[in-house]
Amino acid sequence: MSGRNVLIAVLGLAACLVSSPGAILGQQSPLVIQVPVHGDIELGLAPFVERSLREAAASGAAAVILDIETPGGRVDAAQRIANAIGDSEVPVFAFINRRAYSAGALIALAADEIFMRPASVMGAATPVVGAGEKAPEKIVSAMRSQMRTLAEARDLDPAIAEAMVDEDIAIDGVVEAGKLLTLTTSEAVELGYAREVEDFSALLAELDLTGAQVVSMRVNWAERIVRFLSNPLVAPFLLSLGFLGLIVEVKSPGLGLAGLAGLVALSLFFGSHFIIGLAGMEDLILFGIGLVLIGVEVFIVPGFGIFGVLGGVGVLAGVYMAMVGDLATLPDFAQAGAVLSTSLLIIMITSWALLRHLPRSGQLARSGVFLVTKGGREEGWTSAVRRPDLVGREGVTLTDLRPTGTVLLGEERVDAVAESGWVEDGTKVRVVSSEGYRLVVRPVPPREAERPEDQGSAN
C-alpha cells in the first residue's frame, strides 16, 4: 500500500472516531453517555442536554445517564429538557448525586427511572419568585400538572409528585398539609419513586452495563459562546452596540462599518436568545416591524410622529420579550427590564460622549463628518462686520421693521432691528447699539426729529 493510501486510511479512521464514538467503541462494549446536570438549571443548559441526547442516538449508545446535582432553576428550562428526554431514542436514567430540588426534580421525574445515592434528596419543586415567595398560581399550576403527568407516565402515584409542588396537598403517612414534600433516598425507595445505588459504578451494574464505555459530555465552544452572549451582563452591551451602530449609520450615507457592527451585534443578541429558547419568531417580527416604522419616520415622513412612536415601542417590546421565557416569574421580568434599562443608559451616555468628544478626533476631522475648523477673524472668516461707528447715527427706515428691516443711514443701506415693537416705513430712527451683526434702532421722538434749519426757513 502506498504512503498516500495509508494516510487516507488513518484519516478515515480518525474521522470515524470523532464523528461517531459508539461506532468503534460499540464493537467491544456498550456505550453509555453521562450528561452532567450540575448547578443552576438555566436556559443555556437545555441546548447542551438536547445535543447530548442527539449524539447518544447517533452513536448507538445503550443508555444516557443524567448526573443530577442541582438546587433548581428555571421552570421553562426544565420543561424543555424534560421534553427532550421524552423524545429521546435512547433510554435515559436519572442519577441523583446528592440533590435534585425544584426544576431538578422535574428533570429526574422525566427520566425512564430514577437512581439515588444514599443521603440524597429530591423534591421541593414549587416555583418561587426573587424574594423566595411562592410564584403565581398560573406558574404553580403548570408545574404541578407537569409533575403529575410525568408521574402518571411511569405508573407512579401522581399525588406524590404534586405534593412536591403544592404544600396544600396532604398524603397520609407521607406529608401533612402546609408542608412541601421533599423525599430522602429511603423515602423515595419506599414509595417506588427511586432505586438506591452506592455510586455510579453500582448504577451501571444495576443496568447490566458493567464494563461499558462511559463518555462524559462536555459543553462545547459553541454552547459556551451562546451562554456568554445570553448572559444578562453581556446582553446590554450587545444591544447598545447594535443600536449605536444603526444610529451612526442613519446619520451617514451608505453601508459602513458602524451599520455592519450594529447588525452583527443585534444578530448575536437575538440569535443567542433564540437558541436558548427565550426569543421566538414573534419577537423577531415585532422588532423588525419596529425598525421598519422607524425607517419610515426617518426617510419618508420626517419629524417625530406616530410612526416613530410606534416603531420605538415595537423595537423595545421585541427586545424585552426576547429576554422573557414562556413561564417567566417576577425575577425574570425584572431582569429583562434591568437589561433593557442598562442598554438605554449606555446608549444615552455613549451618544453624548460621541457628540461631545468625537468631533475633535483627527480622523473624523479629515473625513468631514464633523465641522471642526475654526471660522474666526484670524482665519479670514467672519459672519458679519461689527459697526460700532454707526451708534448714534440717525436715518430713515426704507421698509417696515417687523422687527427687522432696512434702514438708510446717509447713503448706506443697512439691515437693522427695532428695539421694541414695529416701526413703519419712512420713520426717522437712531442707532442705539451694535450687537454683533445686528444694528438696533429706536424711533426718534417727534420733537427731536424736527430740525432747527427747517424752522428758520419757515420764518
Residue 129, domain member (yes or no): yes
Is 444 domain-assigned? yes
Q: Residue 358 has what pLDDT?
A: 54
Helix or strand holding residue 418 (H, E): strand 412-418
- For the beta carbon of residue 377, count every other beta carbon within 10 angstroms: 7
**Which of the four pLDDT bands, split at 50, 70 and 90, describes residue 26?**
very low
Q: Backbone dihedral region of 132: left (phi > 0), alpha (psi from -120 to 50 degrees) or beta?
A: left
The per-residue DSSP string of 157-211 comes to: -HHHHHHTT-TT--BTTTB-TTS--EEEHHHHHHTTS-EE-SSHHHHHHHTT-TT
Question: 201, 214 in Cβ contact below 8 A?
Answer: no
Burial 78-100 (b: 16+ CB within 10 A, else e): bbbbbebbeebebebbbbbbebb
| 459 burial level (CB within 10 Å; 0-12, 13-18, 19+) | exposed
Q: State the residue range of the domain holding 422.
A: 384-450
CB-CB contact of 434 with 388 (8 Å): yes
What's the predicted TM-score (pTM) here? 0.60
- Do the Cβ atoms of 74 and 102 come closer than 8 Å? no
Q: Is residue 290 part of a domain?
A: no
Please give the DSSP secondary-structure letter assigned to residue 220: -
Given pLDDT bands bounded at 50, 70 and 90, which one contains residue 21?
very low
pLDDT digit string, tens, across residues 378-430: 555 555 567 787 888 899 999 888 778 889 988 888 888 888 778 888 899 99
End position of a domain, from candidates 152, 187, 219:
219
Cβ atoms < 10 Å from Cβ of 5: 9
Q: Where does the pLDDT of residue 86 fall: very low under 50, low under 70, confident under 90, or very high at 90 and above?
A: very high
Helix (H) / strand (E) element for 349: namely helix 330-357
Q: d(Cα 137, Cα 409) in Å, to the nearest integer?
A: 86
In DSSP notation, 115-129 reads EE-TT-EEE----B-
**Tens digit of pLDDT for each residue in 231-274?**
777 888 888 888 887 777 766 655 567 778 888 888 888 887 77
- For residue 298, the 8-state DSSP code is I
In a domain? residue 423: yes
Residue 353 lies in a domain: no
> 394: part of which helix (H) or strand (E)?
strand 394-397
The verdict on residue 376 lying in a domain is no
- Kindly report the average pLDDT of the chain as a whole number: 79
17 pLDDT more than 50: no
Domain boundary (188, 204, 219) is at 219
- 267 is a domain residue: no
At residue 94, the pLDDT reads 96
**Which residue has better confidence, 47 or 373?**
47
DSSP 62-108: SEEEEEEEE--B-HHHHHHHHHHHHT-SS-EEEEEEEEEETHHHHHH
**CATH number of 170's domain:** 3.90.226.10
Q: Which of 207-211, 252-256, 311-315, 453-457 has the lowest mean pLDDT?
A: 453-457
For position 391, which CATH number holds? 2.40.50.140
Contact 69, 99 (CB under 8 A): yes
Residue 124 within any structural domain of the chain: yes
C-alpha cell at 395: 436715518
CA distance 328 to 322: 12
> 168, 187, 219 — which closes off a domain?
219
Total number of domains in the chain? 2
